A and B are shown apart, each in its own frame.
Chain A
């Protein structure tokens, strides 16, 4: 069995994870229809499903030639932050109003939600995107190759018009109308 980061497998794993996560979320919603309201496990299932789906969707989009390369590190960390953060919030006891401990001005569970789940991924995901962009998303050489291959490959009958086979980056029809 190949590692998740290897060719072809990254997309397959991501797609499988999205389907699994969607089923988990659907099941959590269904559980809310049970007599007595939503059971505790439904919140855990929903939390895990949502976290996995968002990370898997990023991996699906980032996969190139079926691989996500070094991006497994930030994606893995974000998954840990989301599942760990939501898990902590579900597991920690409520704040005691008589003796409120504050983390950076907020009760612990609210701090985990806002600083951990809400803010911490900012230092991971957009930074990782910029950091790996040329290597794993789009480099100058890639752009010319993709333009050339796509224009050479032709087009189907619907969904926009094919651009003329002019050199990439030259003026389009719309631009020439000026």
Chain B
């Protein structure tokens, strides 16, 4: 392919709805400064990355603050800053059920997974979650299936996030969506390939701090714009009382389904859970839920505040009703906050997306280079080199998918969370805490999660079949995979003891 043809391919504008352009010198310079800082951190991390252990689990050498902030950053993708406030604007309180379990999920993850995964990393040198599943059940099949599930979901998730990053970069620099996608992916890939997860963790620390700081400031401006929370509520109640009903504009089952999927499903999010392998001192886990939960709640203030404030402003007539709910954050920032804060938030949005994408690049590369070959009875000689190569392959594939797959990219993004949850929660989270779980139960639950999610999301995407209101594919696949896990483990209970190695039993009883 000639270079001109390649440029034309890159610059082609895909189908996504653009964000309002915010090309202002202050915003552009803050964004440039942000990219420079991230690049410097990436260069520093590259010098520190000398082994596959460094590349995939940061040499098990990160501290508590790095773990907490990086988990917070990776949890919140750009959705928390752009899509989330838009969803609150459209659905009201119902959209809050996505983030409502946040006060519980970090402590739940700490009790259920953190200690055991950290000890497993030490005793077995596990570097991936499928590795941990393989060790728990002495099963290459379970390891390979979970690795394949992660790889499928990672590429889809990355594609949606890279598309969102392209939209943000285009809005800030005005360079077109195609170039935005490749610039954002290029910067992220540069530090992910060089510095692996070390770069990811320390850019996450910077990015997490930026996100939390910007979110608090924006929340103050949302209260100011609406005359305090009471003023916002009074305005909304007079124009759209259902918005501030307990379920917003959702049905109770739909809202509760969000709570279930994003609460229990948090135990199966590899970009978050994988970080438990990396903590230097397991005793520091003591403060992890408190710090991470606090940081998460603070950073979610923007999610709630902007959605509610924009709703109130549109009902007052101060803003025109939004055609695209995703415009809520950009329009509020440009109209109601100082330009420097808008600049920080736009960089914060890019930060949130890049931190999530970086984690996925690393996890996807590990699944491709490590888990799938291991499941086939093969091992890769130079894991560091192949880890870097796989990172490039996955990143380019995801960027091409983001740019050229049309509506498919939205489809891939939709099932990411549900696929992670239904394939990993029973086999990993419950399985590491229940000695009665069997290899057959784990394989059956992973297969159920994979099949139910792919089949029903595909049918729904092509309008061939849709569930009744309130029933989500992710919720149904999660509950089915849990029931299959228990059911098959019970049917094959005689084999439970034989699938458990003595050192794993020690860790499970720890």
Contact = CB atoms under 8 A, between A and B. Distances in A.
Interface of A: 11, 15, 18-19, 22-23, 25-26, 28-29, 32-33, 37-38, 42-43, 46-47, 49-50, 53-54, 57-58, 60-65, 78, 86, 89-90, 94-95, 97, 100, 102, 104-107, 109-110, 112-114, 117-122, 125-130, 133-134, 137-140, 142-143, 146-147, 149-151, 153-163, 168, 172-175, 177-178
Contacts of A162: 123-125, 503
Given A61-B112, A95-B241, A28 B134 contact: no
Contacts of A126: 103, 106-107, 289-290, 293-294
Of the candidates A32, A114, A147, A174, the one having the most CB atoms from chain B within 10 angstroms of its own CB is A174
Given A46-B252, A174-B59, 5 more contacts: A113-B93, A121-B104, A137-B285, A138-B282, A160-B132
Given A125-B107, A150-B506, A177-B51, A159 B112 contact: no
A65 B508 CA distance: 10
A125 B103 contact: yes
B134 A158 contact: yes
A95 B503 contact: no
B39 interface: no
A121 B120 contact: no
Interface stretch (B70-78, B163-171, B256-264, B319-327): B256-264
B60 A172 contact: yes
Of the candidates A42, A140, A149, the one having the most CB atoms from chain B within 10 angstroms of its own CB is A149
Residues of A contacting B: mostly: helix
Interface stretch (B341-349, B411-419, B471-479): B471-479
Given A109-B245, A122-B293, A133 B286 contact: yes
Contacts of A47: 252, 256
Contact of B471 (A32, A156, A177): A32
Interface residues of B, number: 102
A43 B250 CA distance: 12
Contacts of A119: 103, 297
6 contacts: A97-B241, A114-B100, A126-B294, A127-B290, A129-B286, A162-B503
B131 interface: yes
Contact of A102 (B138, B139, B233, B470): B233
Contacts, number: 290
Given A18-B482, A95-B244, A110-B245, A159 B469 contact: no
Closest 9 CB pairs of A and B: A159-B135, A174-B53, A105-B229, A61-B112, A159-B134, A61-B111, A160-B124, A153-B502, A126-B289
A54 B503 contact: no
Contacts of A143: 282-283
Given A25-B479, A57-B267, A146 B104 contact: no
Interface of B: 50-54, 59-61, 93, 96, 99-104, 106-108, 110-113, 115, 119-120, 122-127, 131-136, 138-140, 143, 228-230, 232-234, 237-238, 241, 244-246, 251-253, 256-257, 259-260, 263-264, 267, 282-283, 285-287, 289-290, 293-294, 297, 304, 374, 429-430, 433-434, 436, 467-471, 475-476, 479-480, 482-483, 486, 501-507, 509-510
B283 A153 contact: no
A46 B374 CA distance: 40
Contacts of B486: 15, 18-19, 22
A151 B433 contact: no
A69 to B, nearest CB: 13
Contacts of A174: 51-54, 59, 125
Given A151-B123, A154-B502, A159-B126, A65 B476 contact: no
A160 B501 CA distance: 13
Contact of A114 (B96, B108, B238): B96
A11 to B, nearest CB: 7
Contact of B125 (A22, A58, A90, A161): A161
Contact of B104 (A19, A49, A78, A151): A78
A133 B285 contact: yes
B260 A50 contact: yes
A110 B103 contact: no
A158 to B, nearest CB: 5
B510 A138 contact: yes
A113 B246 contact: yes
Contacts of B374: 158
A130 B127 CA distance: 27
Nearest to A109: B246
Given A32-B468, A46-B253, A60-B434, A54 B102 contact: no
Contact of B507 (A60, A130, A146, A157): A146
A154 B108 contact: no
B257 A129 contact: no
Given A28-B253, A65-B509, A172-B125, A129 B245 contact: no
A51 to B, nearest CB: 9
B246 A50 contact: no
Contact of B122 (A28, A65, A138, A147): A147
Contact of B503 (A107, A155, A168): A155
Nearest to A78: B104
Of the candidates B125, B256, B429, B505, the one having the most CB atoms from chain A within 10 angstroms of its own CB is B256
A38 B253 contact: yes
Nearest to B131: A160
Given A107-B237, A138-B285, A159-B134, A177 B106 contact: no
Contacts of B61: 175
A118 B229 contact: no
Of the candidates B246, B430, B483, the one having the most CB atoms from chain A within 10 angstroms of its own CB is B246
Nearest to A132: B286
Contacts of B294: 122, 126
